[in-house]
Structure 1
């Protein structure tokens, strides 16, 4: 089963991914991202230059402006790669 990290503020995304069978890890700090296949973030943690510190080998999906279903579709697309 794919383990997906989702920022704690994105509860609607967490619920939607759980319904699709994903194992969800709530991201509270950067170290929570270790060992995950993919992370979903709000994008609010990006710095002024748009650079994020990547602490995982999987994909990072920025959910700003996306519905929970759109995020789920993006996660599924990334997991097929």
Structure 2
């Protein structure tokens, strides 16, 4: 099951991902490996470049996107990843 770290304010997206088989963890509580990270874009420095390099997970900036668009972006990125 793909694991996605997501900011707390994205509750509708969290539900949509869980309903579609994703394991969703709070962005600040993801010591385990994740397959993708979703941020709201309100704080561009929530992840440092070093964090992205360590996880290798795609970071999706949800700023200005609907819940459906965010879900589609996560799903597309994870299903097109040749390393999964």
TM-score normalised by structure 1 residue count: 0.82
Q: Could you say which residue in structure 2 is the equivalent of 1:24?
A: 24
Which of 37, 40, 43 aligns to 2:38? It is: 40
Q: How many residues get paired?
A: 75
| DSSP-derived class of the 1:15 partner | helix
Q: Are the counterparts in 2 of residues 33 and 39 from structure 1 also a CA contact under 8 Å?
A: no
Query: Partners in 1 of 2:75 and 2:37 — Cα distance?
Result: 12
Higher strand share: 1
Residue 9 of structure 1: CA displacement?
1.1
| DSSP-derived class of the 2:43 partner | coil
Q: Could you say which residue in structure 2 is the equivalent of 1:5?
A: 5
Query: Partners in 1 of 2:75 and 2:26 — Cα distance?
Result: 18
Q: How big is the alpha-carbon RMSD for the aligned residues of Structure 1 and Structure 2? A: 1.6
Query: Partners in 1 of 2:44 and 2:32 — Cα distance?
Result: 18
Q: Are the counterparts in 2 of residues 27 and 33 from structure 1 also a CA contact under 8 Å?
A: no
Structure 2: gaps (5+ residues): none
Query: Partners in 1 of 2:31 and 2:7 — Cα distance?
Result: 10
